[in-house]
């Protein structure tokens, strides 16, 4: 098995982590970040992506998509 910390860092993935604690405070549990509203983050990111796409359309470098209408 060697060094378990090395194995986790170099061969592990997010699904291997059940919980993360920082200074005794639980930050991640069952793959969910507990310190922020993930849905709000995703909504904000989607709005930003739409805005960036719209700018590209306005500048003629991206195609207009029916989803953005």
Tens of pLDDT, residue by residue over 12-29, are 887 788 899 999 999 999
pTM value > 0.75: no
d(CA 40, CA 23): 26
Contact 67, 61 (CB under 8 A): no
For residue range 31-44, list pLDDT tens digits in order.
888 999 989 999 99
């Amino acid at each position: 098995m060697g060094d378990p910390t090395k194995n986790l860092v170099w061969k592990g993935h997010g699904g291997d982590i059940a919980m993360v604690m920082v200074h005794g405070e639980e930050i991640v549990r069952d793959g969910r970040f507990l310190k922020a509203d993930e849905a709000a983050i995703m909504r904000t990111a989607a709005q930003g992506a739409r805005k960036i796409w719209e700018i590209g359309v306005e500048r003629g470098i991206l195609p207009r998509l029916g989803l953005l209408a």
